C-alpha cells in the first residue's frame, strides 16, 4: 500500500512567505513621458491663447497696409463693432467718409491714422 503522506505531499504545501513587490523599473520613464506630453500640450495651449489675444492688433496693422482703403474701412468698422471700441464721433465720421464717400487720394493716410487710433483703443492702460 502506498504511503498517504507521499501522495498528499504535493497537494498540501506550506504557503510561500510574502515578498514585497518592488516597483518596476519602467514606471518612472512612463511618468516622465506622460509629464513631458502634458507639459508640451499645456505650452501649446498657452501659446495659442497668446497668439489669439494679439489677433486684433495684427488685423489692424494689416488693414492699415491694405491697397483698397474702402475695403479696409469696412473691415475696421466690423472689427470696431465686434470689439466694442469706445471710439469718438470724429473717428466714426472719418471712418464713414472713407467707407461711403467718394474715392480720394488721402483715404490711405486716413485709414492708417484710424487704425493707429484703434490700436491705442485696443491697448489697455
pLDDT at 49: 94
Judged against a pLDDT cut of 80, whether residue 2 lies above it is answered with: no
Residues with Cβ < 8 Å from 113, sequence gap 6 or more? Answer: 94
Q: Is the model's pTM score more than 0.85?
A: no
User: Tens digit of pLDDT for each residue in 90-101?
Assistant: 888 888 888 888
How far apart are the C-alpha atoms of 53 and 68, rounded to whole Å?
26
Burial 29-63 (b: 16+ CB within 10 A, else e): eeeeeeeeeeeeeeeeeeeeeeeeeeebeebbeeb
Average pLDDT score over residue span 46-64? 89
pLDDT at 11: 64
Map grid coordinates 484710424 to a residue. 114
Nearest to 59 by CA among 71, 48, 47, 46: 71
pLDDT at 46: 97
Amino acid at each position: 500500500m502506498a504511503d498517504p503522506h507521499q501522495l498528499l505531499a504535493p497537494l498540501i504545501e506550506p504557503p510561500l512567505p510574502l515578498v514585497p513587490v518592488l516597483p518596476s523599473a519602467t514606471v518612472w520613464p512612463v511618468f516622465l513621458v506622460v509629464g513631458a506630453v502634458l507639459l508640451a500640450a499645456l505650452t501649446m495651449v498657452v501659446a495659442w491663447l497668446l497668439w489669439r489675444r494679439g489677433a486684433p492688433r495684427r488685423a489692424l496693422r494689416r488693414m492699415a497696409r491694405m491697397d483698397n482703403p474702402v475695403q479696409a474701412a469696412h473691415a475696421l468698422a466690423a472689427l470696431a463693432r465686434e470689439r466694442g471700441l469706445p471710439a469718438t464721433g470724429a473717428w466714426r465720421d472719418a471712418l464713414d467718409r472713407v467707407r461711403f464717400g467718394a474715392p480720394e487720394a488721402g483715404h490711405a493716410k486716413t485709414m492708417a491714422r484710424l487704425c493707429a487710433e484703434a490700436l491705442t483703443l485696443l491697448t489697455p492702460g
